[in-house]
Structure 1
Amino acid sequence: MGRLMFSALLQFLCLSSVAVWTVRGEDPYLFFVWNVSYGTISPLGVPQQAILINGQFPGPNINSTSNNNVVVNVFNNLDEPFLLHWNGIQHRKNSWQDGQLGTNCPIPPGTNYTYRFQVKDQIGSFFYYPSIGLHRAAGAFGGLRINSRLLIPVPYADPEDDYTVLIGDWFTKSHTTLRKILDSGVRSIARPNGVLINGKIAKGDGTDDPLFTMKPGKTYKYRICNVGLKASLNLRFQGHTMKLVEMEGSHTVQNEYQSLDVHVGQCFSVLVTADQEPKDYYLVASTRFIKNVLVGKGIIRYTNGKGPASPEIPEAPTGWIWSLNQFRSFRWNLTASAARPNPQGSYRYGSINITRTIKLFNSVSKVDGKLRYAINGVSHIDPETPLKHAEYFRLSDKVFKYNIISDEGPPEGSTSITLAPNVVNVTFRNFVEIIFENREKSIQSWHLDGYSFFAVAIEPGRWSPDKRSNYNLLDAVSRHTIQVYPNSWAAIFLTFDNAGMWNLRSELIEDRYLGQQLYISVLSPALSLRDEYNIPDNVLLCGLVKGMPLPKPYSI
């Protein structure tokens, strides 16, 4: 009854939208009520079932400011469990709100759950999406922006407007059909059927409404996120250059680009000035590194425009070496303030001693005749009891084992795969180096929840300790997603100072669904509220802990 009364109160306050409260000096609260339901859409001309939020595809944008408290009451009107993940939000001390099966029980059909988290000391462009059951292939994703507080200067003039651009590959098969294909273990989900921009694709016959409008001479901010399932995308503005200003929560050196490769799960912010002939122009997103290139287009219209967009769209680059060189051009802006009143570059990560190196190798093979993807020879399976719940209730030994993979990776030449929950334990506040080595012929994209890390290198070949001489130890961008090209490796640095249970995964949906993920357990020895929040009062419990009383809460 209490939960229903709280939900009713939120609905009254929010009217299916948003209300903002400030209470006795606390950071402001943003309240949302979201109804998740099925609906029919036809973005590629084929009617198909989608998952909508408040009747919208894509879902509503969350427009927040650093340190805001976000409260989202999600009503699951589907016929199956549902769970939302907030991609790139660090959830300081609060992995309870991460929205992954390792940290949360799914929301049962016909019920609701309220997420509560603070976008603490963050700025930038992010997105949310459903994290289970291949729901992301049906929608329920949307933009999540965190603006800088007024007292923190931004290293560029205020734009005329601020636009969210969600690009991604798209399948005409339903998420249930795609799931059945993967569950059968016979084959992958193959190639997508198209590329969407904000859920649409321009026909180019003069009947398209504009996605965005620009006034001549004005500069606009575009927040670009690849919310797709498996394809890296190249994005370009017909006739215009882009000035890169932010990447996954960090201000960047403001280089100009004709096009940008945006890999699955990544977000960039660019400035575009309306300095061309006043007419329509195409915003173009096309697939990279796969045969039979797919192209998605949207219209950008000058407010005084007098003509259609030219059918001659700019060509995309070819080959992954071009993309690697573009990665090397990305630099952290060391003079810009972050979400705190001090420069980003004041954190000298390159002078910290590494305490541990973890090498992660992705692989694919068959187990009992079924396709599985793995990290260091282990293909992750989600137990009925969320890993974080098992740990918090002191039942870990009944649900999973820590460190079943080696920091050195599997033995050379090994192709065997084991199915098990894959949990790596790290020491609280240790400075760790993680190496991703991709020995496959396809590109990978990796994401770590709860953290930003320094992407210090990507190189062809195999990693060895002497490769550290090529690391960028000064101004590598602090971010949360990194790509690894075929037969290449990538290196990241980070301090594990955010206690909780955090998901590290392939952002390619079929790889992740079939086991290419693991969880990193970061336990604070003090078991103190200074380091980690207690389990929420409204938590959904399932598996072994269902019906159990909550453990004694942490204290300061």
Structure 2
Amino acid sequence: MSRVKFELVLGLLLISCLFLRRVHGEDPYLFYTWNVAYANLSPLGVPQQVITINGEFPGPMINGTSNNNVWVNVFNNIDEPISFHWHGIQQRKNSWQEGLPGTTCPIPPGTNYTYKFQVKDQIGSYFYYPSTALHKAAGGYGSIRIHSRDLIPIPFDPPEAEFAVMIGDWYSKSHVELKKQLDGGRTLAKPDGVLINGKAGKGDNKDEPMFNLQPGKIYRFRFCNVGFKYSLNVRIQNHKMKLVEVEGSHTVQNMYDSLDVHVGQCYSVLVTMDQEPKDYFMVVSTRFSKSVLTSTATIRYVGGNGPASTDLPQAPTGWAWSLNQFRSFRWNLTASAARPNPQGSYHYGGINITRTIKLASTAGKADGKLRYAFNGLSHTDPETPLKLAEYFDVPDKVFQYDNIKDDPPAVDDENVKIEPVVLNSTFRNFVEIIFENHEKSTQTFHLSGYSFFAVGIEAGKWSPDKRKNYNLLDALSRTTIQVYPKGWAAIMLTLDNAGMWNVRNMALERSYLGQQFYISVLSPERSLRDEYNLPENFPLCGIVKTMPLPPPRYSGT
């Protein structure tokens, strides 16, 4: 073989190897190092202890793309154990990294732990927050932004820029004081204000602009309600908002003057800067509260001239308006998802329901102290995470399966039972979950590990004949759903993600006082195709801390 031919063949072989490596190689990795510490800040003008990450409040953004592997090395520099939960990230086969007390031991003070997870087949707007004690009331939250891969088209032109907007109500009391109140059996008073990206504007044109935008350009705002108690309404003076994405689903692109964002929810909008070049206020205010709390952030047109009008646009009133807005949200069936197949190709409306789970949300008392419950059971976190007890095959020493039933008993608001609450389920069953709100306030519920189809919300009581009112064609696939006073909401999903997954009320007071539980989804085949084994160097606590490691539960590839 001549030298020229040899070099040609060698070159072709090298190109082939590089191509194969690219095809078969791992998805990209994102590495973050977080230093979690306290700082003395004044979000509402009153000095208080705030949890910062790398000195930031809100914390740094996790900015990734579908299928990225994310490693977050957390150094705990506060004086209490802490964990972080990745709200809305599905953690396929990997509930170990949920960062919730039912799955993960907290990070002790002065130590570090690296969370390792993949944003598998996901796009959208999400957030993280500390899941231990009442640390979320001190901050420690931030944005998660997952973009589509380049080969997957999005159903709108790329905006000029995009912004994470963390909105939420806020207490000026410390998380320690708030926890003491709840531990003493007292409810929390109304929050003291509302924050937009950690700041509280008064609409008086004295604040520095939070957003500097070019006239004529289109920008994307990702709103997430990271608060504790109240639904919030968000609007921008003189500007319409085009809804394009909700918690991982591209939506039919309707225009809105304002949006209700309930606790734990995220909405993504496009806004065109097509008004007179000057300043305008972004306005966020509480909904369904006796007294309205309002905050503003200034949007400035670059090169514009003139302050924003102090005549702030008002939020709508009543929950019926909010319900009608929910009904206007539709999945964009012509858009691509995180995978190269049509987003609407999953015809959930044609699948037979194998199990219906009804969950009644109530308040009650145990030993004379306030508690919140599902179906009369108020969850408490044992010292040993539920997932670890299950993996070490000692669940009977920590919790009881199926102590919560599929149909709520007669409501007894005076007495609730406190214990770890775990619902056993069948892998790959298609289930219907009904959330019933027996109270006078609007509630928001979240299921970790999954996106579900939000098929219906109505007033009154649910009954099987209500299924005729479900949206079985283009309901949004999302991670949270709100339930209005004395009403119900229905969701549908396939339990195809093995692990230990949390269902909770997103109001911090309610989840802390027991309105949550876990769903155990086990793979009968014990295959690594369905669930990962205990990660190497995973922290142990509780009764399993001194136990020898069991052999891997799952095998195969």
Shifted more, 200-209 versus 219-228: the winner is 200-209
The one-letter amino acid of 1:191's match is: K
Q: Cα deviation per residue 1:444-477 (whole Å; 9 max; x = unaligned)?
A: 1000000000000000000000000000000000
CA distance in 1, matches of 2:542, 2:229: 31
Q: Is the 2:362–2:413 Cα contact (8 Å) retained in structure 1?
A: no
**Aligned partners of 1:385 and 1:486: how far apart in 2?**
35
- 1:442 and 1:213 map into 2 onto residues whose CA distance is 37
Q: Superposition pairs for residues 47-66 of structure 1, below 5 Å? A: 47-66=47-66
**Residue 123, structure 1, aligned to residue 123, structure 2:** yes
Match of 2:444 in 1: 445
CA contact (8 A) 2:222 2:267 kept: yes
Distance 1:413 1:548, change over 3 A: closer
**CA apart distance, 1:305:** 1.3
Q: Do structure 1's residue 141 and structure 2's residue 138 form an aligned pair?
A: no
Q: Output the CA distance in 1 between the equivalents of 2:413 and 2:187.
A: 22
Q: Which residue of 1 aligns with 2:3?
A: none
Name the structure 2 match of 1:198: 197
Q: Which amino acid aligns with 2:113?
A: Y
Cα deviation for residue 214 of structure 1 reads: 1.3
Pairwise CA distance, 1:414: 6.6
- How many Å separate the matches in 1 of 2:42 and 2:412? 46
Could you tell me how far 1:415 is from its partner in structure 2?
4.6
Q: Say whether 1:371 aligns with 2:370.
A: yes
For 1:349, the aligned partner's letter is: Y
Contact 1:92 1:450 in 2 (8 A): yes
Cα 1:197–1:412, aligned 2, differ >3 Å: closer, same or farther?
A: closer
Amino acid at match of 2:475: A
Q: Aligned partner of 1:424: which letter?
A: L
Match status 1:71 vs 2:71: yes
> What is the rounded CA distance, in whole Å, between the counterparts of 2:227 and 2:205 in structure 1?
27
- Secondary structure at the aligned position of 1:222 is classed as strand
SS of 1:361's partner is strand
Match of 1:143, SS? Answer: strand
Q: Secondary structure at the match of 2:514?
A: coil
How far did residue 497 of structure 1 move? 0.1
1-structure distance, mates of 2:424, 2:350: 24
**How far did 1:345 drift?**
0.5
SS at match of 1:512: helix
How far residue 47 of structure 1 moved from its aligned partner, in angstroms, is 0.5
| 2:242 paired with 1:213 | no
Shift of residue 538, structure 1, vs aligned partner: 1.9
1:492 has 2:484 as partner: no
Contact 2:32 2:73 in 1 (8 A): yes
Whole-angstrom distance in 2 between the partners of 1:27 and 1:215 = 35
SS at match of 2:298: strand
Q: Deviations over 1:373-392 (max 9, x none)?
A: 00000000101100000000
| Alpha-carbon distance in structure 2 between the residues aligned to 1:551 and 1:476 | 43
Matching residue of 1:19? none
Of 193-202 and 346-355, deviating more is 193-202
SS of 1:345's partner is helix
- Per-residue Cα deviation, 1:222-258 (whole angstroms, up to 9, x for no partner): 0000000111000001110000000000000000000
SS in 2 for 1:492: strand
The CA deviation at 1:203 is 3.7
CA contact (8 A) 2:375 2:411 kept: no
Query: Taking structure 1 as reference, are residues 251 and 212 closer, same or farther at Cα in structure 2, changes over 3 Å only?
Result: same
Secondary structure at the residue paired with 1:115? Answer: strand
Query: What stretches of structure 2 of length at least 5 have no aligned partner?
Result: 1-21
Give the deviation of 1:416 after TM superposition.
2.8
* Deviation of the 1:525 alpha carbon: 0.4
Structure 2 counterpart of 1:128, which letter?
Y
Bigger Rg over Cα:
2
| 1:273 maps to amino acid | T
Q: TM-score, normalised by structure 2?
A: 0.95
Q: Distance in 1 between matches of 2:353 and 2:23?
A: 42
- Which deviations, in whole Å up to 9, do the C-alpha atoms of 1:388-446 show, x marking residues without a partner? 00000000011111111221111255753111100001100000000000010111100
CA deviations on 1:200-231 (whole Å, 9 max, x unpaired) are 02244433111112111110000000000111
1:361 maps to 2:367: no
What is the aligned partner in structure 2 of residue 502 from structure 1? 501
Letter in 2 for 1:322: W
Question: Is the Cα–Cα contact under 8 Å of residues 125 and 248 in structure 2 kept in the other structure?
Answer: yes
Cα distance per residue 1:482-505 (max 9 Å; x no partner): 000000000000000000000000
Moved more, 235-244 or 411-420: 411-420
8 Å contact from structure 1 (residues 380, 516) kept in 2? yes
CA distance in 2, matches of 1:347, 1:427: 20
Q: State how far apart, in whole Å, the 2-side matches of 1:163 and 1:173 are.
A: 29
Structure 1 CA distance for aligned equivalents of residues 205 and 252 of structure 2: 38
Contact 1:377 1:415 (8 Å CA) reproduced: no
Does the aligned pair in 1 maintain the 2:202–2:295 contact within 8 Å? no
- Quick one: distance in 1 between partners of 2:230 and 2:483? 13
Over 3 Å counting, the alpha-carbon distance change for 1:167 and 1:394 in structure 2 is: same
CA distance in 2, matches of 1:347, 1:415: 44
Q: Equivalent residue of 1:189, what SS?
A: coil
2:101 matched to which residue of 1?
101
**1:67 is paired with a residue of what secondary structure?**
coil
* Farther off after superposition, 489-498 or 365-374: 365-374
The change in CA–CA distance for 1:46 and 1:542 in structure 2 (over 3 A counts) is same
Q: What is the CA-CA distance between 1:550 and the residue it aligns to?
A: 2.0
Aligned equivalents of 2:271 and 2:446: distance in 1?
Answer: 28
**TM-score normalised by length of structure 1:** 0.95
Shift in Å, 1:23: 11
**Matched position secondary structure for 1:220:** strand
Cα distance in 2 for partners of 1:415, 1:455 equals 31
Partner of 1:16: none
Secondary structure at 1:290 match in 2:
coil
Secondary structure class of the residue paired with 1:234: strand
Q: How does 1:229-244 map to 2 (within 5 A)?
A: 229-244=228-243
For residues 23 and 135 of structure 2, the distance between their equivalents in structure 1, rounded to whole angstroms, comes to 36
SS in structure 2 of the partner of residue 306 of structure 1 = coil
In the alignment, structure 1 segments of 5+ residues that lack a partner are 1-21
Which residue in the other structure is 1:31 paired with?
Answer: 31
AA in 1 matched with 2:205: G
Q: Which residue matches 1:478?
A: 477
Q: Is the 8 A contact 1:34 1:72 kept in 2?
A: yes
2:19 maps to none
> 1:268 offset after TM fit, Å?
0.4
CA contact (8 A) 2:444 2:481 kept: yes
Give matches, 1:89-488, under 5 Å: 89-185=89-185, 187-411=186-410, 415-488=414-487
The 2-side partners of 1:501 and 1:375 are apart by 18
**Counterpart position of 1:9:** none
Q: Corresponding residue for 2:84? A: 84
Residue 128 of structure 1 deviates from its aligned partner by: 0.3
SS in 1 for 2:543: helix
The secondary structure found in structure 1 opposite 2:401 is coil
Aligned to 2:18: none
- Give the aligned partner of residue 11 of structure 2: none
Match of 2:541 in 1: 542
Shift of 1:528: 1.1
Secondary structure of the residue aligned to 1:457 is strand
Distance 1:265 1:414 in 2: 26
Q: What's the counterpart of residue 13 of structure 1? A: none
Contact 2:203 2:295 in 1 (8 A): no
Amino acid across the alignment from 1:521: S
Partner deviation per Cα, 1:146-169 (whole Å, 9 max, x = no partner) = 000000000000000011000000
**What's the secondary structure of 1:178's corresponding residue?**
helix
C-alpha distance in 1, partners of 2:240/2:204?
25
Contact 1:155 1:336 in 2 (8 A): yes
- Matches of 1:171 and 1:414, distance apart in 2: 28
CA contact (8 A) 1:28 1:68 kept: yes
* Aligned length, in residue pairs: 534
RMSD over aligned Cα, in angstroms? Answer: 1.1
